[in-house]
């Protein structure tokens, strides 16, 4: 059976309840929400409401209507950036960003938005001081990742959010690698815009995501169209969440996302975090003992998510990934991980790294098999045999 260690890209497998919820919704509900007064449509609308309520409970938010469903974290981040910024605004971001945030910000900078890049350190951490120093009286937004998808560095979002609140600066947090794996209290962290995908640590399917919008933040919709309500006007409704949810939503996918959130609630985020960090510790210690392997961000005492990157002297990461898949049936991620600026920051550009990311369903045996495979690859035995 294959060993899957690429949960930072997409969690797999999903809890059985996720598959069951999607199948049941597609078969038994199967219609559009907010598009009719008949029972099936009302059932679909109820699924959306209950999914929002589950998200609000998980992230300690009192008003579930502040959660907007999207098709991905990428859409959520584009909505946040393009819906907020205007020419003349100043934005602070970091060099550790995934392209899903870096590209919309770069695009904004081509249309009159001033953009400042704060560098992460060699392990991918961004300091509070460096963010604060980059903020000016013209700063409208600080947009940054919570957890690096390359090194797993978990940034001090609560401390940054507290300072930004005092200064009246909007705080956008990309929680793609932390939501579901790290305990998060959005109001406590003073986060104004919070984006995450459904298909990673939230255990939902691909094609789902969400954006939390604080009450004080006014965004323009990314797109407009039919919402099922307010149909007398040519302008979109002002009320949330309908203002930002034009078109027919992925109701089966959102049912699966709700089941994923409920799975997290039943296990407890702290329990999930403990399991993933236990496996990560095993990975760090095991890889660090192999000659020729360089592990990034090995300080396990610092806050981090369940993501680990490494290189092997003289071996291209793509060859390692290919060999792990072909000869050992182990799935990992190699390359630049859609974060070229992060790899420039930590010194692994342009080849990138091998990334390993265990999940809640990963086991100690999975890790041991992976470490045994890496010992063989690093020693050159596998390459010699194949050549």
Confidence (pLDDT) at 386: 45
Instruction: Give the closest residue to 308 by CA, choosing from 118, 127, 202, 177.
Output: 177
Asked if 208 and 71 touch (Cβ cutoff 8 Å), the reply is: yes
| pLDDT, greater one: 181 or 385 | 181
Confidence (pLDDT) at 387: 39
Give the separation between CA 18 and CA 338, rounded to whole angstroms: 27
Share of residues in the chain with pLDDT > 90 (%):
91
First CA to last CA across the chain, in angstroms? Answer: 26
Indicate if the pLDDT at residue 382 is higher than 70: no
Bridging pattern class, strands 330-331 and 3-4 = parallel
Asked if 6 and 333 touch (Cβ cutoff 8 Å), the reply is: yes
> Which residues have CB under 8 Å from 69's CB, separation 6+?
48, 51, 52, 208, 209, 210, 241, 245, 249, 250, 254
pLDDT band at 119 (very low <50, low <70, confident <90, very high): very high
Indicate if the pLDDT at residue 1 is higher than 70: no
* Cα–Cα separations (whole angstroms), residue 139 to 88, 90, 349: 10, 4, 30
Confidence (pLDDT) at 229: 73
> Which strands form 114-118's sheet, in the order they lie side by side?
67-70, 209-213, 193-197, 170-174, 139-145, 90-94, 114-118
pLDDT, mean of residues 166-183: 98
Residue 372's SS3 state is helix
Confidence (pLDDT) at 181: 98
Give the separation between CA 229 and CA 232, rounded to whole angstroms: 8
pLDDT, mean of residues 151-161: 98
Indicate if the pLDDT at residue 380 is higher than 90: no
Indicate if the pLDDT at residue 103 is higher than 70: yes
Confidence (pLDDT) at 384: 46
pLDDT band at 95 (very low <50, low <70, confident <90, very high): very high
Confidence (pLDDT) at 49: 97
Give the separation between CA 185 and CA 166, rounded to whole angstroms: 18
Indicate if the pLDDT at residue 230 is higher than 80: no
Token pair listed for 113 = 């938005």
Give the separation between CA 346 and CA 339, rounded to whole angstroms: 11
Average pLDDT, the chain: 96
Give 316-346 pLDDT, tens digit per residue.
999 999 999 999 999 999 999 999 999 999 9
Beta bridge pairs of residue 293: 312
Token pair listed for 309 = 């990157």
Give 35-70 pLDDT, tens digit per residue.
878 889 899 999 999 999 999 999 999 999 999 999
pLDDT, mean of residues 74-79: 98
DSSP assignment string, 80-134: HHHHH--TT-EEEEETT--HHHHHHHHHHHTTT-EEEEEPP-TTS---HHHHHHH
Burial environment of residue 92 by CB neighbours within 10 A (0 to 12, 13 to 18, 19 or more): buried
Instruction: Give the closest residue to 10 by CA, choosing from 242, 357, 254.
Output: 357
Share of residues in the chain with pLDDT > 70 (%):
98
Confidence (pLDDT) at 385: 43
């Amino acid at each position: 059976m294959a060993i899957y260690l690429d949960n930072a890209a997409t969690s797999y497998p999903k809890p059985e309840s996720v598959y069951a919820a999607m199948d049941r919704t597609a078969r038994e509900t199967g219609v559009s929400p907010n598009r009719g007064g008949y029972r099936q449509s009302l059932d679909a609308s109820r699924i959306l409401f209950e999914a929002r309520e589950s998200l609000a409970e998980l992230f300690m938010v009192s008003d579930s209507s502040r959660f907007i469903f999207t098709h991905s974290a990428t859409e959520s981040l584009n909505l946040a950036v393009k819906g907020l910024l205007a020419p003349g605004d100043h934005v602070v971001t970091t060099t550790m960003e995934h392209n899903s945030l870096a590209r919309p910000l770069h695009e904004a900078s081509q249309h009159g938005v001033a953009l400042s890049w704060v560098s992460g350190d060699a392990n991918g951490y961004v300091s509070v001081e460096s963010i604060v120093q980059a903020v000016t009286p013209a700063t409208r937004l600080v947009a940054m990742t919570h957890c690096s998808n390359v090194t797993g560095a978990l940034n001090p979002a609560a401390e940054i959010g507290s300072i930004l609140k005092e200064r009246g600066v909007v705080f956008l947090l990309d929680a793609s690698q932390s939501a579901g794996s790290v305990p998060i209290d959005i109001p406590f962290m003073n986060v104004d815009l919070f984006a995450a995908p459904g298909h990673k640590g939230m255990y939902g399917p691909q094609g789902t995501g969400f954006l939390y919008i604080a009450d004080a933040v006014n965004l323009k919709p990314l797109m407009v169209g039919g919402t099922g309500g307010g149909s007398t006007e040519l302008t979109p409704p002002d009320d949330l969440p309908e203002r930002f949810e034009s078109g027919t939503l992925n109701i089966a996918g959102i049912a699966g996302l709700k089941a994923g959130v409920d799975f997290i609630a039943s296990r407890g985020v702290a329990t999930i975090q403990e399991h993933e960090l236990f496996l990560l510790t095993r990975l760090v210690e095991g890889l660090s003992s192999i000659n020729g392997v360089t592990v990034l961000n090995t300080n396990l005492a610092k806050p981090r998510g369940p993501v680990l990157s490494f290189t092997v002297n003289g071996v291209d990461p793509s060859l390692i990934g290919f060999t792990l898949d072909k000869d050992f049936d182990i799935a990992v991620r190699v390359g630049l991980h859609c974060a070229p600026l992060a790899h420039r920051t930590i010194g692994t550009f342009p080849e990138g790294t091998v990334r390993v990311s265990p999940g809640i369903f990963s086991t100690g045996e999975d890790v041991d098999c992976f470490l045994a495979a890496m010992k063989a690859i690093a020693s050159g035995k596998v390459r010699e045999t194949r050549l």
